[in-house]
Amino acid sequence: MNDIIEIFTYPFVYRALIAGSLISVCASVLGVILVLKHYSLIGHGLSEIGFASLSLSSALNLPAMYVAAPSVFASSFVIMFVSRKYRTAGDIAIAAASSSALALGIAISSLSGKTSNMNSYLFGSVLAVDEVDLVTAVILSVIVIVTFIVLYNRLFLITYNEDYARSLGINTALYQMIISVLTALVVVMGMKMTGTLLISGVIILPAVTAKIIASGFKSLVIISGVISFIAFIGGLTLSFVFNIPAGAGVILMNTAVLILVRLAVRKRK
């Protein structure tokens, strides 16, 4: 126990702790909307497109975020457009595109001979979080949270009754694009910490867990954020204890919480 406490005093660990906590909370908040609107595949698709972009930047020796960020943001608009226009067929298209993007990223890494460089982006690494990443995470998290608070009422209405929102003259397409952009921000923030393969789990799992016990939209958002924060702290500790990637630890902890909550609710009923 003393060794674990001592680990959290290291500069690289508390940078990861602060940045990861902010990213996790932002991801869980947006995850509520994505789960309720059945847009869960968007996070998955963006993360794998992000991996392909990172592979390309590594092969060309370009700054990672200069390639990944524009690619993820552009893809977020395309994915949301496809999801809105084609519904179920859109989900199939997104799944196919994300798998293709992952395969493309692996092929680029293999051909460039830089496969080992991509491990931290695939599975996440606390060592990859520097001061710039910390400042970026703080700024982007503030943007996500403030935007969510300011647009809370309209996001709530669009999430639960899009047709009624449209009848009130609300531009639902615009707000769903905003949701997509915010999701892209979270994916870009989380790629280093959680890994491109696992960031979608950070977005979706807390919301799925909170949905089991929440009684309303506001409580769903709050409970999802709390679960995500606790799961991140637990997952980060797990990664140090068992020497596993941070992303894997966080997802395993989120999964454990989901199972425990499901069992507790079933036992109570």
Query: To the nearest whole number, what is the mean pLDDT of the chain?
Result: 81
Residue 193: what pLDDT? 73
Cα angle: 83, vertex 86, 89; to 5 degrees: 95
Counted residue by residue, the chain has a size of: 269
Residues whose CB falls within 8 Å of the CB of residue 144, separated by 6 or more in sequence, listed in order: 26, 29, 30, 182, 185, 186
109-139 confidence digits (pLDDT tens): 778 776 655 666 777 776 667 787 788 888 8
- Whether residue 239 is predicted with pLDDT greater than 60 in this model: the reply is yes
150-187 confidence digits (pLDDT tens): 989 888 888 888 888 888 888 888 888 888 888 888 88
C-alpha 147/C-alpha 219 separation (Å) is 18
For the record, the structure tokens of 250 come out as 């966080």
Q: How confident is the model at residue 209 (pLDDT cuts 50, 70, 90)?
A: very high
Please tell me whether residue 98 adopts helix, strand or coil conformation: helix
116-137 exposure pattern, b = at least 16 Cβ within 10 A, e = fewer:
eebebbbbbbbebbeeebbebb
2-53 confidence digits (pLDDT tens): 656 666 667 777 788 888 888 889 999 988 988 888 777 777 778 888 888 8
- Whether residue 200 is predicted with pLDDT greater than 80 in this model: the reply is yes
225-236 confidence digits (pLDDT tens): 999 999 998 988
49-95 confidence digits (pLDDT tens): 888 887 887 788 877 677 777 888 888 877 777 766 665 555 666 77
Residue 228: what pLDDT? 93
Domain boundaries, the chain: 2-264
Report the topology of domain 2-264: ABC transporter involved in vitamin B12 uptake, BtuC (1.10.3470)
Residue 171: what pLDDT? 86
